[in-house]
Amino acid sequence: MSMLKVIEVLAESDKGFDDAARVAVATASKTVRNIKSIYIKDMNAQVSDGKITSYRVNAKISFLLDGQSAS
């Protein structure tokens, strides 16, 4: 059985929710190895003058602990 750890991160993009998720994974991967999945827990957007100005995601990122093999 593999051991995974889960971290919760917040990420933002001015392009869309999918890009915010990509930002979350890209930023986390700078300091975390063996990322296996992302779960979007929550999404919200900032609005100014009737237009969406930024998209935000609250995500859980799962990664394999060092010394573990993927099953």
**What confidence tens digit (pLDDT) does each residue in 3-24 have?**
999 999 999 999 999 999 999 9
Residue 70 lies in a domain: no
Per-residue pLDDT for 70 more than 90?
no
**What confidence tens digit (pLDDT) does each residue in 21-38 have?**
999 999 999 999 999 999
How many whole angstroms separate alpha carbon 60 and alpha carbon 32? 13
**pLDDT at residue number 2:** 82
Residue 8 lies in a domain: yes
Per-residue pLDDT for 63 more than 90?
yes
Identify the domain containing residue 20 by its residue range.
4-64
How many whole angstroms separate alpha carbon 2 and alpha carbon 9? 22
Residue 34 lies in a domain: yes
Residue 17 lies in a domain: yes
